Amino acid sequence: MIYYMYRVKRLLRNKTLFFWTILFPLGLATLFKFAFSSITEKTWGFDTIPVAVTTESGVAAEAMFVEFLEGMENDGAAFFSVTETDKDNAEKLLSEKEVTAVIVLGEETEVLIYENGLNATVVKTVVDNYLQSRDIFMEAAMTGRLAEVTESFADETETLAVREFEGASKDPMIQYFQALVAMASLYGAMYGLLNTGEMNQNQTVVAARRLAAPMKKLPTVLADVAAACTIQYLQFLLILAYYLLVLKVDFGRVNGWLFVAGALYSLFGVLIGYFFGCVLQKEKGIADSVMTGCIMFSCFLGGLMVGNMRMILETSAPIVNRINPATLIAESMHALCVIGDMGWFARCMISIVLWCILLIIVSVVALGYHQRKIGREGKKA
């Protein structure tokens, strides 16, 4: 226990690791919040569209049309804010981007827009609907069935029903934050790598001193792993608290399973460090660079740089999503917190457990191989 406590202290005192595993993810999360918090609202949100209505000279204004526009609503919010004005002023408003479109009523109704886009499409669709309705009424008037058509138009039967989206969060930008948790978890590998370096007499003097101590190796290694996992788990909790309490990220449903999963993510990250430390024993710098490169690539595939990367791979190379460490972590959080699919979450957790078992086996085999090699070289010398 004392050994474990000292190890925790020793790992916490490493300023470089403290920066990369704790401060850097928190800093990046803040930047993500700055950058992505308004994107969904601005691209997917509903805003009342400002339009100007004007008439060609000599044509009487159609009060019914303005009423029609002003009457359109979406969830209690008006679709359009209408300004009735003369053509010159309407065009001025358009060029100053005060309105999205100018509707010019006349012999041939025209829509003037500043630039193409969804709002312009909405205005055009509504004007089309108005013109098409007018044609139907004119046809009905000519055939003497105006009353029937008016009655059918007044029919309030709601044929279209709304099926709610089942996810707990409607913000796809959340995927960047999930990928960031994956990155922070995988950065736990740095603690694993430091631990292996300080147990390998070929690499550090600290390791030589530790190995000379009258203590069995297995408890030492287990205490090292436990200390690294503890710090890593605390870091996971800190990031989660920062997301939810400070940045107020809409993370979806947060329940007890997330905290259990966090412990497994921490162990996974640390074991990855052990794997690289045991397999690439020759030089610490090489193991460090290869490990960082692999983690960053894994995070790229997990959606840290391109939010919907997981979906892109799901449709083109789903096998990558089944085995990539960062994707497994991000996907398990997505399944648990956003979609609420426990089966999917369990599948990800099982994959992570299998990864952990594989990493332990390969690390132990590689360590044994290197120890035997050192022994043989020692005998030769």
Partner 1 sequence: MKAVLKVAKKALPSASIYFGIFCAIMFVFTFFAGKDQEKNFQATELTIYVDDADDSVLSRTLIEYLGSENKITTEFDKEMVSEYLFNGYTDYVLYFEEGFEAGFFAGKEGGIERQSIRANVAFVDQKIEMFFRYVRAELALGKNMEDACGAVLKNCEKQAKVGVVSVSKGGIMGMVPGYYLLSYLAYILPAVLIMILGPMMHAFYKKDVKMRTDCGMVSVRKQNLAVVAGVAIVASVVWALLMVLGALVYHKDFTVGTFLCGMLNSLLFLLVSIGIAVLSGVLVKGVDALNGANNLISMGMAFTCGVFVPADFLPEGVNKFAEFLPASWYMKNVRMLFEEGEMVDNMRKFFENCGVIAIFSVAIFCVFLVVVKRKRVA
Options 5, 6, 9, 23; binder of partner 1; rule CB under 8 A: 23
Minimum Å distance from CB 308 to partner 1? 4
Phi, psi of 103 (to 5 degrees): -100, 115
Minimum Å distance from CB 133 to partner 1? 7
Nearer to partner 1, 99 or 264 (CB): 99
Nearer to partner 1, 117 or 219 (CB): 117
> Using CB under 8 A, which residues numbered 106 to 135 contact partner 1?
108-118, 120-122, 124-129, 131-133, 135
CA distances from 22 to 14, 235, 236, 261, 296 (A): 12, 6, 9, 19, 16
Q: Is 95 in the site for partner 1 (CB under 8 A)?
A: yes
Q: Which two tokens stand for residue 232?
A: 């890593």
Minimum Å distance from CB 189 to partner 1? 17
Nearer to partner 1, 167 or 257 (CB): 167
Number of residues binding to partner 1, judged by CB under 8 A: 82
Nearer to partner 1, 39 or 356 (CB): 39
Nearer to partner 1, 169 or 281 (CB): 169
From its phi and psi, is residue 178 left (phi > 0), alpha (psi between -120 and 50) or beta? Answer: alpha
Q: Is 221 in the site for partner 1 (CB under 8 A)?
A: no
Minimum Å distance from CB 179 to partner 1? 13
> Using CB under 8 A, which residues numbered 325 to 344 contact partner 1?
338-339
Options 51, 82, 93, 94; binder of partner 1; rule CB under 8 A: 94
Amino acid code (one letter) for 316: S
CA 17 from centre of chain: 25
Q: Is 19 in the site for partner 1 (CB under 8 A)?
A: yes
Q: Is 86 in the site for partner 1 (CB under 8 A)?
A: no
Are 243 and 174 spatial neighbours (Cβ–Cβ below 8 Å)? no
Of 281, 309, 280, nearest in space to 294 by CA: 280
From its phi and psi, is residue 58 left (phi > 0), alpha (psi between -120 and 50) or beta? Answer: left
Options 5, 9, 31, 375; binder of partner 1; rule CB under 8 A: 31
From its phi and psi, is residue 365 left (phi > 0), alpha (psi between -120 and 50) or beta? Answer: alpha
- Choices 12-20, 82-90, 217-225, 349-357 (CB under 8 A): range interacting with partner 1: 12-20
Options 9, 64, 143, 376; binder of partner 1; rule CB under 8 A: 143
Nearer to partner 1, 34 or 259 (CB): 34
Residue with tokens 């030089």: 283
Nearer to partner 1, 314 or 370 (CB): 314
Nearer to partner 1, 123 or 267 (CB): 123
Q: Which two tokens stand for residue 269?
A: 């990250």
Nearer to partner 1, 120 or 320 (CB): 120
> Using CB under 8 A, which residues numbered 33 to 62 contact partner 1?
34-39, 42-47
> What is the chain's alpha carbon radius of gyration, rounded to the nearest angstrom?
32
From its phi and psi, is residue 83 left (phi > 0), alpha (psi between -120 and 50) or beta? Answer: beta
Q: Is 314 in the site for partner 1 (CB under 8 A)?
A: yes
Binding mask 145-174 for partner 1 (x = CB under 8 A): x--xx-xxx-x-xxxxxxxxxxx--x-x--
Tell me the DSSP string of 239-299.
HHHIIIIII--------HHHHHHHHHHHHHHHHHHHHHHHHS-S-HHHHHHHHHHHHHHHH
Are 98 and 50 spatial neighbours (Cβ–Cβ below 8 Å)? yes
Are 202 and 210 spatial neighbours (Cβ–Cβ below 8 Å)? no
Are 101 and 93 spatial neighbours (Cβ–Cβ below 8 Å)? no
